[in-house]
A and B are shown apart, each in its own frame.
Chain A
Amino acid sequence: MPSTTTTQRKAPTLDELIERHKGKPGALLGLLENAQELEKFRYLSEPTLRRIAEGMALPLSQVYSVATFYSFFNLEPQGLHSLVVCRGTACHTRGSLELLETALARLGIEGFREDESNSVTTPDGFASIRTVACFGQCALAPVVQVDGTIHSRMTVGKLVAAIEKLRKVPAPEAPKSK
């Protein structure tokens, strides 16, 4: 059957993305971003990182360095829902540690240490909690992002309610690559 023109563009493959970025200085960051968007669980798997290093002719350690530096990149499959707790100074002074602990407790996560990792996912893949250094919304501190929406002047009560609501609504679609 001859293919018909559709308005929906097919997402590029990883190899196509690499081909597009190859040889351009500073292209790694954008490539990693696109590669993560390709992945259903919004993360960069080890095979993906290896393929990128090989395709871009970069040392594996350097690709790993960049992928671990930016909190945007995930090296583990992410949960269906995402909670991002700002742990910047302003949010911290207005109680973000308690918010983080509440979110962890509500989702039944134990043993998370901020000095070891910046994200954790529930074993059932329901939700991921991530900490970031600052959202740039300090005047509205403390802020927590729930499935992409930033909630300002968050309280423990509002957070608990937001988490309970997540259990009732379907998970958002994985973001599409442009």
Chain B
Amino acid sequence: MSGKMVSITVDGASALVEAGSSLLEACAAAGAKVPTLCHLKDVSSNASCGLCVVEVEGAKSLVRACVGSVGEGMKVATSSPRVMRARRNAVELLLANHPADCLTCARSGSCELQDAALTLGIRQVRFPRTRAAPKLDVSTDGLVRDNDKCILCGRCVAVCSEIQGVSAISLAGRGIRTRVATFMDRGLAASPCVQCGQCSVVCPTGAITERDDTEELWRELAKPGGTVVVQTAPAIRASLGEALGMEPGSLVTGKMVAALRRIGFDKVFDTQFTADLTIMEEGSELIQRLTKGGKLPMITSCSPGWINFIEYFYPSLLPHLSTCKSPQQMFGALAKTYYAEKAGLDPAAMRLASIMPCTAKKHEAKRPEMRGAWEYWSAKAGASPDTAAYYDVDWALTTRELARMITRAGIDIARLPEEEFDDPLGASTGAATIFGTTGGVMEAALRTVYEIVTGSPLPTLDFEAVRGLVGIKSAEVDLAGTKVRVAVAHTLKNARVLLDEIAAGTSPYHFIEVMTCPGGCVGGGGQPVRVDQAKRLARNAAMYAEDRRLGLRRSHENPSVKALYAEFLGEPLGHLSHELLHTTYARRTD
């Protein structure tokens, strides 16, 4: 923007707005709220919903504010009878083919169509249904698509192609048969979909949601005598408060722990414990690849949407991935081996839930190779395993699902005391916290790797070069005379840029961090809906605040991780680590 201003009139009041801005932005700046359903700032403006129409003096027809731009002297009416009539018509037409099952919809209360109907005072639907009810797409572990609730705004299609570069879905057909579809309408599982869930975050209605695992978990929690433990990902503490109506960026670590105890979990643990462990393993792997030879650049492997992406789109680059399982899966493997043994629990009977900012984590938990504990105990028991195979992680729930559980249990999170995680899998450092934000895994790794290699701590623990929401960040670190070049990408479209460099043989980097979602896990597909850049930044800031709050800020200082190595694993990259904490990848086709 040039910064040049133009003067316009909005609803009779004059306003000075930036030249070149959209009518939508200009009206908002002038204090007039223009409703939208399809517009998604910086991502898409299909002008398909027709809700944002305004009257511009001299224009023949109404103008869609999202795509119209301001001009000097423009006179705009945002709430004239003509505008109101057009908006009501647009919403009524959408409602004609939208099921009226708000009471039982997962998005009730956060639905933008519901809001629009409410705002415009619509009390009846005049038009009959004209569209056949389509089938549900329940083909994936992470997401459920209900095209009956789709209003064809195109936001999901836009994030899938423009933000993620995946293009699993597109608008297919025309007229009354128009629908959001995968190739040949086969459903997400038969498409390149990586289950990142960004579509579920931007969907204005309940047409794309996470697969709900809360019912099964409630049933399990109610069983007498069972042991159900829970782990919480770093990013949850920076977004759960927001999901429950608090300010974006509210940090609720202690209250979240208290709420989970009240819901009925026997132990409340922290995925940050295994985030620290990931740094020990991945850091050691990096040092090994740097000093003893190995595929470089090495790329992080914590983000399951990213793993799905590289397995589908760049299978030839799989050797670049760190072999480390994600913190969620390391936790699962250890909870049902190390911890089960320590606590005297039957690993086959104990249940583990994860609270994740992510829909792809649901899929990751169900990958057949993620049964490390069962394999471990089966090997111990001899040739024939004495139990049916079980997963390391039984359910991965999103932030949104946990918020629903807390609400259903009648827990007022704001009034809860701050409680501590249980030992020993609840101890963590600030380095683990920042796993939840873009650049965090890199920063955590550098804090530890630098110290291991040089023998002295980083001059400053705050590694600013890899922080912030720039799409691709890079830096150079001097590791005892060796210049190590690192890069950080968030969103898969940005990851593509770095991968294409590797494929072309021009990548200058040694170590790359990739997170699937915008902003990293704080902007994850399982996070509170209606997110924007400001909210991502607020959640991001909360992560760094937590990092500073925790006394220990380097993963190798975590006392419980040290104990884990001393009592159980031996050393990083040791035999048992390979068995429980590392994994393999394979080409994925649709």
Chain A residues with a Cβ under 8 A of chain B? 46, 49, 59-65, 68-71, 113-118, 133
Given contacts A115-B131, A116-B132, contact A46 B161 (CB under 8 A): no
Q: Which residues of A contact B174 (CB under 8 A)?
A: 68-71
Q: Which of A61, A114, A115 interacts with B182 by CB under 8 Å? A: A61
Given contacts A46-B184, A64-B184, A133-B175, contact A113 B132 (CB under 8 A): yes
Decide: B131 and A61 in contact? CB cutoff 8 A.
no
Decide: B170 and A64 in contact? CB cutoff 8 A.
yes
Q: Which of B132, B168, B176 interacts with A61 by CB under 8 Å? A: B168
Given contacts A59-B167, A113-B132, A116-B132, contact A69 B183 (CB under 8 A): no
**Please, which residue of chain B has its CB at the minimum distance from the CB of A65?**
B170
Decide: A62 and B170 in contact? CB cutoff 8 A.
yes
CA distance A65 to B184 in the complex (A): 9
**Please, which residue of chain B has its CB at the minimum distance from the CB of A71?**
B174
**Please, which residue of chain B has its CB at the minimum distance from the CB of A53?**
B183
CA distance A64 to B132 in the complex (A): 21
Which range holds the interface residue count of chain B? Answer: 20 to 34
CA distance A69 to B177 in the complex (A): 9
**Please, which residue of chain B has its CB at the minimum distance from the CB of A114?**
B176
CA distance A148 to B293 in the complex (A): 68
Separation in Å of the A23 CB from the closest CB of chain B? 17
Residues of B121-171 whose CB lies within 8 A of A = 130-132, 161, 167-171
Decide: A62 and B167 in contact? CB cutoff 8 A.
yes
Q: Which residues of B contact A68 (CB under 8 A)?
A: 172-174, 181
Separation in Å of the B170 CB from the closest CB of chain A? 4
Decide: A118 and B182 in contact? CB cutoff 8 A.
no
8 examples of A-B residue contacts, CB within 8 angstroms: A59-B192, A60-B167, A61-B172, A64-B172, A64-B181, A69-B173, A113-B132, A116-B177
**Please, which residue of chain A has its CB at the minimum distance from the CB of B165?**
A59
B438 at interface, CB cutoff 8 A = no
Q: Which residues of A contact B184 (CB under 8 A)?
A: 46, 64
Q: Which residues of A contact B192 (CB under 8 A)?
A: 59-60
User: What are the nearest 4 A-B pairs in CB distance?
Assistant: A59-B167, A61-B170, A60-B183, A65-B170
Decide: A69 and B132 in contact? CB cutoff 8 A.
no
CA distance A61 to B182 in the complex (A): 6
CA distance A46 to B131 in the complex (A): 26
Separation in Å of the B97 CB from the closest CB of chain A? 10
Q: Which residues of B contact A116 (CB under 8 A)?
A: 132, 177
Given contacts A64-B183, A115-B176, contact A59 B170 (CB under 8 A): yes
Separation in Å of the A125 CB from the closest CB of chain B? 21
Q: Which residues of B contact A133 (CB under 8 A)?
A: 175
Decide: A115 and B132 in contact? CB cutoff 8 A.
yes
Given contacts A46-B184, A115-B130, A115-B131, contact A65 B177 (CB under 8 A): no
Q: Which residues of B contact A65 (CB under 8 A)?
A: 170-172, 181
B191 at interface, CB cutoff 8 A = yes
Q: Which of B130, B177, B191 interacts with A118 by CB under 8 Å? A: B177
CA distance A117 to B167 in the complex (A): 24
**Please, which residue of chain B has its CB at the minimum distance from the CB of A67?**
B172
Separation in Å of the B379 CB from the closest CB of chain A? 42
Separation in Å of the A141 CB from the closest CB of chain B? 19
CA distance A12 to B481 in the complex (A): 61
Q: Which of A61, A69, A115 interacts with B191 by CB under 8 Å? A: A61
CA distance A62 to B183 in the complex (A): 8
Decide: A61 and B183 in contact? CB cutoff 8 A.
yes
Separation in Å of the B398 CB from the closest CB of chain A? 25
Q: Which residues of A contact B183 (CB under 8 A)?
A: 49, 60-61, 63-64
Per-residue A-contact encoding for B166-204, CB less than 8 Å = 1, 0 else: 011111111111000111100000011000000000000
CA distance A67 to B516 in the complex (A): 30
CA distance A105 to B191 in the complex (A): 37
Q: Which residues of B contact A70 (CB under 8 A)?
A: 174
Q: Which of B161, B177, B590 interacts with A117 by CB under 8 Å? A: B177
**Please, which residue of chain A has its CB at the minimum distance from the CB of B166?**
A59
**Please, which residue of chain A has its CB at the minimum distance from the CB of B172?**
A68
CA distance A49 to B132 in the complex (A): 27
Given contacts A64-B170, A64-B183, A68-B172, contact A59 B177 (CB under 8 A): no
Query: Other than the known A59-B192, A60-B167, A61-B172, what 7 A-B pairs have Cβ atoms closer than 8 Å?
Result: A49-B183, A60-B192, A61-B168, A61-B183, A64-B182, A115-B131, A115-B177
Separation in Å of the A112 CB from the closest CB of chain B? 12
Q: Which residues of A contact B161 (CB under 8 A)?
A: 59, 62
CA distance A113 to B168 in the complex (A): 27
**Please, which residue of chain A has its CB at the minimum distance from the CB of B178?**
A69
Separation in Å of the A16 CB from the closest CB of chain B? 24
CA distance A152 to B396 in the complex (A): 62
Separation in Å of the B188 CB from the closest CB of chain A? 11
Q: Determine which residue in A49, A63, A64, A133 has the highest number of CB atoms from chain B within 10 A of its CB, and name it.
A: A64
CA distance A99 to B167 in the complex (A): 40
CA distance A115 to B128 in the complex (A): 14
Q: Which residues of B contact A118 (CB under 8 A)?
A: 177
CA distance A133 to B171 in the complex (A): 19
Q: Which residues of A contact B181 (CB under 8 A)?
A: 61, 64-65, 68
Q: Which residues of A contact B169 (CB under 8 A)?
A: 61
CA distance A115 to B590 in the complex (A): 28
CA distance A69 to B175 in the complex (A): 9
Q: Which residues of A contact B590 (CB under 8 A)?
A: 60
CA distance A116 to B168 in the complex (A): 22
CA distance A62 to B171 in the complex (A): 8
**Please, which residue of chain A has its CB at the minimum distance from the CB of B169?**
A61
Separation in Å of the A82 CB from the closest CB of chain B? 20
Separation in Å of the B180 CB from the closest CB of chain A? 9
Separation in Å of the B340 CB from the closest CB of chain A? 44
Decide: A69 and B172 in contact? CB cutoff 8 A.
yes
Separation in Å of the A156 CB from the closest CB of chain B? 25
CA distance A70 to B174 in the complex (A): 8
Q: Determine which residue in A46, A62, A70 has the highest number of CB atoms from chain B within 10 A of its CB, and name it.
A: A62
Separation in Å of the A29 CB from the closest CB of chain B? 14
Q: Which residues of B contact A117 (CB under 8 A)?
A: 177
**Please, which residue of chain B has its CB at the minimum distance from the CB of A64?**
B183
Separation in Å of the B127 CB from the closest CB of chain A? 15
Q: Determine which residue in A63, A69, A71, A117 has the highest number of CB atoms from chain B within 10 A of its CB, and name it.
A: A69
Separation in Å of the B131 CB from the closest CB of chain A? 6
Q: Determine which residue in A71, A115, A117, A133 has the highest number of CB atoms from chain B within 10 A of its CB, and name it.
A: A115
Q: Which residues of B contact A59 (CB under 8 A)?
A: 161, 167-168, 170, 192
Q: Which residues of B contact A114 (CB under 8 A)?
A: 176
Separation in Å of the B42 CB from the closest CB of chain A? 21
Separation in Å of the A66 CB from the closest CB of chain B? 9
Separation in Å of the A145 CB from the closest CB of chain B? 19
CA distance A118 to B174 in the complex (A): 10
Separation in Å of the B114 CB from the closest CB of chain A? 25
